[in-house]
Structure formats: C-alpha cells, structure tokens
C-alpha cells in the first residue's frame, strides 16, 4: 500500500458536553463544599463542637481551601465562624469588602495567617509586610511595574507568546483534526519565561519544568500550614515535616541567589542603574527615601521570590481557566476570533498590545475570565482593633476573608452570574455597577502591583491565539482546587485545530 492510499487517521475525539456539565459551568457558585462549616451561633453553644470544628476545618482546608466557604454565603453578605483561636468572617458583599480593603484599610493588616503561610518561604516582602515597612517596599518596587516599564516588556511578552503559539500551531497543523496540548504546562512555562526575562533579563533555558516543580512544591506546602501553626501552639507541639518544601526552597535559592549576587557585585564595583533597568536592577539600586539605605541581599531575595511566585502562577491560572472556558463557548470564541482577526488584518500585522486593547471585546473577555475564575479567589486581613460594619460586630483579631470568587458570582450584582458573557464589560453595560463587584486584582492601597503585566500577557494570548486556532475541550470541565490560588485538581488539556483547516 502506498502512502497516498494509507487510511486517514481517525478523527481526534472531541468532547461532547452533557447538560450536567453545562449546569456545572453556569452555576452561581464555582464550588460547593459537601459539608459546610457550622455558624458562629451554633459553635457558641458547645465547646466540644468548637474543638471538633477546628480540627475538621483545618484538615479540610489544607486539602482544599474552598471548603472553608459556606454555601449559604451565596445568598448572604457575610458569615462568621470560629477556627482555633480566631473568629473568621467570610465576605460576599462589595460594601463590606470596600470597608475592609479600602475605607477602613488602616485597621486591617495581613496579620497572623500571612505569617503562618508565607513567612517561611517568602520572608518579609511587599506581599507580607504591613504598615510603614510595606509602604516603603511598595514604593521601591512600583517603578518596575509603571506604564513605562510595562511598555518596555511588551516585546518580551509578544515573543514568548508567539513561541508558545508556534508549538500549538504545529500540533494543530499536524492533522486536519488538530491535536491536544497540555494547557496547564504551556501557560505556566509562558508566565515563567516572561517573568524571568522581564525581571532578570535572563533566559530560563531548559529550567522551566524544574523551577515550576520546585515552585509548585513550595506553594502547595505553604497553602497547607501545619495544624500546630494554625492553632498558634508553641514549639513543643508536634508538626508535620516540611522537609520536601524546605529542600525545594533551598534549590530555588540556589538558582536565584547567583543572579542577585552578580548584580550586587556590579553595584559594589560602582556600576550605576542602567538606562533601561529590569526589576532586579531597580531592587538592587533602590534607596530608602528617608535614610538613603539600600536593600540588603536577604530583602532583595524575598522580593524577587515573592514577585516570581505571586506573578507566574496567577497569570498562568487565568489562562488555564479562561482558555478552557472559551473552548466551551464557541459563539464567543468565534466572535473574539473574528474581532482579533479583523483588527490584525487592518493593522497588516499580528496585533500588538495597543491594538489588542483597542479591540474592546478582547479586554472584555479577559475581564469576564477573571470574573468567573479569579486566580486569587480570596484575600484576607486581620482586624487590629474591634470594628463595626452596619450590624456586624468585628472583634479585634478577627480574620476577614474577602471571597472575591463569590462576589464575582453574586446574583445581587450580576445577572445570570455563571454565564460567560464578556458583553458585561462592553459599552454602557458597566454603568452603575458597584466598584467592588469586580476585584480580581484586589482593591485599595494593596491592589496587585503586577496587574498591568498580567493583563498584558492575558490579552496578548487571546489576541494572537484566537484568530488562528480553534479551541475545543479535551475533557469535562476542570475541578477547582483552592490552595493559595484557584488551581485545577488535574492539569488541563485542550484540543487545538487550525481555524482555516477547520473552516475549509
Ligand atoms: C492574573 C494575574 C494576577 C492576579 C489575579 C493577581 C491578584 C492579586 C490580588 C487579588 C492581590 C491583592 C492581595 C491582597 O489584597 O491581599 C495581589 C497582590 C499582589 N500581586 Fe498580584 N495578581 C496577578 C498577577 C501578578 C503579577 C504578574 C505580579 C508581579 C509580577 C503580582 C504581584 C503581586 C504583589 C507583589 C502583590 C502584593 C501587593 C501589596 O500588598 O502591596 N501579581 N495580586
């Protein structure tokens, strides 16, 4: 038999959605815990119940943080419970979120939980510090994320997006039916490569898989702090081993510290800040406004690790959830592909960031992705002093958990909240919306410092991928898993085909 007569390969299996899957995709809560935590009122009646609840909650939360969210919260503005020594108030209300994150932000710090979760890994950094030390650190790192700095990394982002899409186009073009990619691995590699080059002007080479694994081990471990730490028990209390995470952290340090040391050595030799500094240059040359002091090696290491950890996983997850959902929304996918394709044709070149922004449907689609699947599902604060909001008494020390993922699907704020509809962010549709109804990057003084970089990456992937590639699901909708971020329980795969082949 000649090649020409060889049978065509069997069509790649394309996922056929069931009504149950559609209902799951469009429900008002992304996640429903099967047994919710009891309310504060019920716990007040029994010490035994409080103990049992604490142990149970910590166990469950260390497996999946989303289990902390009470399903009743979908219909309530807040819910109070007690975990160990703390009153925990979970929030599904834009006014209370504004009170905690902005209006009375001075009374709320990152607090004990951030110490437990991050201190061992990131140390003191812009993410974990509070008060004047945080303000100073934030001032120091902000120049690395201002409009000029972001324009400076546009080419880096475009180059890495294209390199990723070339791999996808090769898979898609290998057969008329297209093929499958490991979406989770692909976008994680993209976000790491962008961070590495934008922050350190350095190439990750073949390191992405190893560094990704090390980051994953440390972040996963940080997201499940030992019971004794959560309970605030002394050193005498037994704790589970964190050996694997500490080894991963050492390996990360062994990778990062030489990069930092090389720049510190240049500074010691008298080299000033270059004309186009990267993030590491900015940190190495940053001086305290009042004292003129430079950051020491430890502070630079903490900041660099924080920015790498805070930046790469969140951005990658927005694309995992977003492209998976788009693969299940063919009408919007075709519309976005048409808009991006027409804009690129008019420009006579692949869309650049300004062109992608100007094609209003594209930023609207990224906003809708961040609404349905906010990678930072929840942000927490601790009350310094007792406070009051309407009829809610907030005791001193209370943990305030703003559940962004609930506010984003709150039926009082959004019509048909589970439906994918970027139209919510187009034209007049935004008029009159509560300013805290959509807060994927947080809000107030501690709003995400890297949001422009994240948006740039998200937008460029949509703008460049959709005109060429038709995305379809390779399996059922992903299951959410709350660690520190909104992960998926298993890596997500995606089916990609060339649009021209698919349409021809
Ligand atoms: C889609 C991607 C991203 C999402 C959804 C996201 C979300 C958030 C949120 C919700 C906060 C506020 C936390 C709080 O109030 O407690 C935050 C803070 C922060 N983010 Fe992002 N982020 C993203 C990307 C990035 C990137 C790319 C970077 C850096 C390269 C970054 C660095 C930070 C830092 C340093 C903070 C702490 C800021 C402070 O407290 O002053 N993030 N992020």
Phi-psi region of 270 (alpha: psi -120 to 50; beta: other; left: phi over 0): left
Q: How many residues make up the chain in this entry?
A: 504
Cβ–ligand 1 distance for 448 under 6 Å, the answer: yes
State the DSSP code for 423: G
Rounded to a whole number of angstroms, the distance between the first and last alpha carbons of the chain is: 28
How far apart CA 383 and CA 106 sit, in angstroms, is: 9
Whether residue 101 is annotated as binding a ligand: the answer is no
Cβ–ligand 1 distance for 486 under 6 Å, the answer: no
Res 367: pLDDT: 98
Q: Which domain holds residue 259?
A: 104-376+440-498
CA-CA distances (angstroms) from residue 241 to 116, 225, 226, 381? 15, 11, 9, 27
Res 8: pLDDT: 52
Q: Are 215 and 208 in contact (CB under 8 A)?
A: no
Cβ–ligand 1 distance for 446 under 6 Å, the answer: yes
Q: How far is the CA of 218 from the centre of ligand 1 (A)?
A: 18
Strand-pair partners of 108: 383
Cβ–ligand 1 distance for 318 under 6 Å, the answer: yes
Res 105: pLDDT: 97
Q: Is residue 160, in this structure, part of any structural domain at all?
A: yes
Exposed / middle / buried, residue 132 (Cβ in 10 Å: 0-12, 13-18, 19+): exposed
Nearest one of 164, 26, 55 to 465, comparing CA atoms: 164
CA-CA distances (angstroms) from residue 413 to 77, 252, 392, 435? 12, 42, 21, 11
Cβ–ligand 1 distance for 277 under 6 Å, the answer: no
- Please tell me the residue having the least CA distance from ligand 1 atom 39: 446
Mean pLDDT by 10 residues, the chain (504 residues): 48 78 92 70 75 76 77 85 83 97 97 77 89 91 88 93 97 93 96 90 81 86 73 71 87 93 91 86 86 88 90 95 97 97 94 94 98 96 97 96 95 96 95 96 97 96 97 95 90 94 53
Q: How far is the CA of 311 from the centre of ligand 1 (A)?
A: 7
- For the chain, the domain total comes to 1
Tokens of 400: 């305030």
With residue 473 as reference, give the H or E element that holds it: strand 469-473
Q: Is residue 351, in this structure, part of any structural domain at all?
A: yes
Q: Is residue 40, in this structure, part of any structural domain at all?
A: no
Tokens of 44: 């007040």
Q: Are 433 and 409 in contact (CB under 8 A)?
A: no
Each residue of 295-318: b (16+ CB within 10 Å) or e? beeebbbbbbbbbbbbbbbbbbbb
ipTM above 0.95, yes or no: yes
Q: Is residue 174, in this structure, part of any structural domain at all?
A: yes
Q: Are 101 and 90 in contact (CB under 8 A)?
A: no
CB contact set of 143 (below 8 Å; sequence gap of 6+): 149, 282
Q: At what angle do helices 297-327 and 451-465 cross, to 10 degrees?
A: 30
CB contact set of 473 (below 8 Å; sequence gap of 6+): 14, 15, 17, 324, 327, 328, 494, 495
How far apart CA 282 and CA 368 sit, in angstroms, is: 33
Substitution candidate for ligand 1 out of 117, 193, 448, 460 with most atoms within 8 A of CB:
448
Angle at 320 between CA 493 and CA 63, to 5 degrees: 90
How far apart CA 204 and CA 109 sit, in angstroms, is: 35
How far apart CA 504 and CA 499 sit, in angstroms, is: 8
Cβ–ligand 1 distance for 401 under 6 Å, the answer: no
Cβ–ligand 1 distance for 307 under 6 Å, the answer: yes
Three-state SS at 381: strand
Q: Is residue 166, in this structure, part of any structural domain at all?
A: yes
Res 35: pLDDT: 67
Res 37: pLDDT: 65
Q: Is residue 393, in this structure, part of any structural domain at all?
A: no
For residue 481, what is the domain's CATH number? 1.10.630.10
How far apart CA 217 and CA 207 sit, in angstroms, is: 16
Nearest one of 277, 310, 123 to 199, comparing CA atoms: 277
Q: Is residue 35, in this structure, part of any structural domain at all?
A: no
Q: Is residue 57, in this structure, part of any structural domain at all?
A: no
Q: What is the 3-state secondary structure (H, E, C) of 394-416?
A: ECCCCEEEEEHHHHCCCCCCCCC
Tokens of 109: 């710090």
The model carries a pTM of 0.92
Res 4: pLDDT: 45
Which atom of ligand 1 has the smallest separation from the CA of 312?
27
Res 3: pLDDT: 45
Q: How far is the CA of 310 from the centre of ligand 1 (A)?
A: 6
């Amino acid at each position: 038999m000649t090649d020409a007569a060889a049978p065509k390969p069997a069509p790649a299996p394309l996922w056929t959605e069931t009504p149950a899957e559609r209902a799951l995709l469009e429900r008002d809560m992304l996640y429903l815990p099967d047994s919710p935590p009891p309310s504060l009122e019920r716990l007040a009646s029994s010490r035994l119940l409080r103990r049992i609840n604490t142990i149970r909650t910590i166990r469950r939360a260390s497996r999946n943080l989303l289990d902390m969210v009470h399903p009743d919260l979908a219909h309530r503005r807040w819910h109070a419970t007690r975990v160990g020594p703390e009153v925990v108030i979970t929030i599904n209300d834009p006014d209370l979120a504004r009170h905690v994150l902005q209006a009375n932000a001075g009374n709320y710090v990152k607090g004990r939980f951030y110490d437990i979760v991050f201190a061992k890994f990131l140390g003191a950094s812009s993410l974990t510090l509070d008060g004047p030390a945080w303000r100073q650190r934030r001032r120091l790192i902000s120049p690395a994320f201002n409009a000029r700095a972001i324009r400076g990394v546009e080419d880096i982002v475009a180059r890495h997006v294209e390199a990723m899409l070339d791999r996808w186009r090769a898979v898609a073009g290998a057969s008329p039916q297209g093929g499958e990619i490991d979406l989770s691995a692909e976008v994680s590699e993209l976000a790491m490569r962008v961070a590495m080059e934008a922050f350190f002007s350095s190439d990750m080479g073949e390191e992405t898989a190893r560094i990704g694994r090390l980051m994953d081990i440390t972040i996963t471990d940080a997201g499940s702090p030992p019971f004794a730490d959560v309970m605030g028990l002394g050193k005498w209390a037994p704790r589970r081993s964190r050996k694997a995470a500490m080894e991963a952290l050492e390996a990360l340090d062994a990778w990062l510290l030489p990069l930092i040391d090389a720049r510190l050595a240049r500074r010691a030799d008298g080299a000033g800040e270059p004309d186009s500094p990267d993030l590491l240059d900015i940190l190495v040359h940053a001086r305290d406004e009042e004292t003129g002091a430079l950051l020491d090696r430890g502070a630079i290491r903490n900041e660099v690790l924080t920015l790498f950890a805070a930046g790469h996983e969140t951005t990658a997850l927005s694309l995992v959830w977003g492209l998976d959902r788009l693969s299940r929304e063919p009408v919007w996918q075709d519309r976005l592909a048409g808009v991006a394709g027409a804009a690129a044709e008019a420009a006579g070149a692949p869309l650049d960031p300004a062109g992608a922004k100007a094609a209003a449907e594209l930023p609207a689609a990224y906003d809708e992705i961040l609404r349905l699947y906010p990678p930072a599902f929840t942000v927490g604060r601790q009350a310094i002093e007792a406070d009051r909001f309407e009829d809610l008494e907030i005791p001193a020390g209370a943990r305030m958990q703003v559940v962004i993922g609930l506010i984003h699907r709150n039926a009082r704020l959004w019509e048909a909240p589970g439906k994918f509809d970027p139209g919510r962010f187009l034209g007049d549709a935004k008029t009159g919306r509560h300013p805290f109804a959509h807060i994927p990057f947080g809000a107030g003084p501690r709003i995400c410092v890297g949001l422009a970089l994240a948006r740039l990456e998200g937008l460029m992937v949509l703008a460049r991928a959709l005109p060429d590639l038709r995305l379809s699901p390779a399996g059922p909708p992903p299951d959410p898993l709350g660690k520190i971020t909104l992960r998926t329980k298993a890596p997500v795969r995606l089916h990609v085909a060339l649009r021209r082949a698919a349409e021809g």
